[in-house]
């Protein structure tokens, strides 16, 4: 066993937009639309978002709200609320249903890019209409080959949702785990194996939470023979140790 600290999982965060505005209802409306098309689109991982907003009161005051909607190129609509929280300043945040669509968008955008598994098709359970701190809801994202990635979206603080995978090990962590596995094997065998000869794939890997096993391949630096290998984690979220096993005989 050898220690390995740090989370293995992928995550993405959606926070509200905060910006200064003019004093008229039209000023607030234009600011919200611009923020949705730029800042929100970037947060969700989309190159472009459409936006439309209801007309705020002509003489808005602190505490007033109005609704907006962001639309993706694929036709999904995110329901949003704009709140004037102080003079010349607004927050834009999703509604309960909007958080669901926003979390789905994060999975298909930011998480998909982090994972490197190609296009993802995501769906989420419906969160409460009014989200409270600590509320969470489950999501899944499916790859083109039918592999399912499990995610959880948590409303962890005011106007903020944290989306993370529960069964996916990132590429960066895989590289660290591979290096650690080679170090352990070299200590056990007394032979120089080399990090380049131990691979666990070039993309993030979906791991069964029940077994926590990651399939890998060890290539003999002398003969070139390939051996099936397995890294077993003690925890997916915060692994403290790993166990490495290599097949006794090479692949046929």
Domain assignment present for 124: yes
Distance set, CA 210 to CA 15, 77, 167, 178 (Å): 32, 36, 10, 21
Please state, as a whole number, how many other Cβ atoms lie within 10 Å of the Cβ of residue 248: 6
Q: To 10 degrees, the CA torsion angle through 231, 196, 220, 206?
A: 30
The answer on 133 and 219 residing in a single domain is: no
**Do residue 110 and residue 192 come from a single domain?**
no
Domain finish residue from 109, 141, 166:
166
CB atoms inside a 10 Å sphere around CB 87: 11
Greater confidence (81 vs 1) lies with: 81
Residue 114 lies in a domain: yes
What pLDDT is stored for residue 7 in this prediction?
Answer: 44
In which domain, by residue range, is 198 found? 169-246
Q: Among residues of the chain, what percentage have pLDDT more than 90?
A: 41
Reported as a pLDDT band with limits 50, 70 and 90, residue 214 is very high
Q: What total number of domains does the chain contain?
A: 2
**pLDDT at residue 21, as a whole number:** 53
Verify that 63 and 188 share a domain, yes or no: no
Q: What is the pLDDT of residues 191-213, one digit of tens each?
A: 999 999 999 988 899 999 999 99
Q: Do 101 and 178 belong together in one domain?
A: no
Same domain, 54 and 16: yes
Q: Which of 140, 166, 192 is the last residue of a domain?
A: 166
Residue 188 lies in a domain: yes
At 73, the pLDDT band (50, 70, 90 cuts) reads confident
Q: Are residues 238 and 198 in the same domain?
A: yes
Q: pLDDT tier at 10 (50, 70, 90 boundaries)?
A: low
Same domain for 211 and 94, yes or no, is no
Residues 160 and 179 in one domain: no
Do 40 and 54 share a domain, yes or no? yes
pTM of the entire structure? Answer: 0.70
Domain presence at residue 137: yes
Please check whether residue 146 lies inside any domain of the structure: yes
User: Quick one: CA dihedral 16, 21, 23, 26, positive or negative?
Assistant: negative
Cβ contacts of 241-248, under 8 Å, gap ≥ 24? 241/1, 241/2, 241/3, 241/4, 242/1, 242/2, 242/4, 242/177, 242/180, 242/181, 242/184, 243/1, 244/181, 244/184, 244/185, 246/185, 246/218
**What is the mean pLDDT of the segment spanning 176-191?**
94
Q: Residues 137, 216: one domain?
A: no
Same domain membership, residue 13 and residue 68: yes
Of 151, 166, 181, which marks where a domain is finished? 166
User: Is 251 inside any structural domain?
Assistant: no
Per-range mean pLDDT, top range of 23-32, 108-117, 180-189: 180-189
One domain for residues 148 and 181: no
3-state secondary structure 21-58: CCCCHHHHHHHHHHHHHHHHHHHHCCCCCEEEECCCCC
């Amino acid at each position: 066993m050898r220690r390995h600290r740090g989370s293995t999982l992928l995550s993405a965060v959606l926070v509200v937009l905060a910006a200064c505005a003019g004093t008229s209802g039209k000023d607030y409306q234009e600011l919200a639309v611009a923020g949705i098309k730029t800042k929100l689109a970037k947060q969700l991982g989309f190159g472009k978002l459409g936006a439309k907003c209801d007309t705020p009161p002509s003489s808005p005051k602190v505490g007033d709200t109005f609704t907006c909607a962001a639309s993706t190129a694929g036709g999904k609509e995110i329901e949003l609320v704009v709140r004037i929280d102080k003079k010349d300043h607004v927050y834009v945040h999703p509604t309960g249903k909007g958080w669901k669509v926003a979390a789905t968008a994060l999975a298909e955008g930011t998480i998909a890019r982090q994972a490197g598994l190609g296009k993802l098709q995501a769906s989420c359970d419906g969160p409460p209409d009014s989200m409270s701190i600590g509320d969470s809801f489950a999501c899944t994202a499916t790859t083109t080959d039918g592999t399912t990635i499990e995610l959880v979206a948590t409303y962890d603080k005011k106007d903020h949702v944290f989306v993370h995978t529960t069964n996916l090990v990132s590429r960066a962590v895989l590289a660290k785990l591979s290096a650690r596995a080679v170090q352990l094997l070299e200590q056990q065998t007394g032979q120089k194996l080399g990090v380049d000869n131990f691979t666990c794939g070039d993309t993030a890997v979906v791991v069964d939470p029940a077994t926590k096993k990651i399939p890998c391949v060890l290539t003999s630096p002398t003969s070139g023979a390939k051996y099936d290998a397995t890294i077993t984690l003690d925890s997916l979220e915060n692994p403290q140790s790993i166990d490495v096993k290599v097949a006794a005989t090479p692949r046929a």
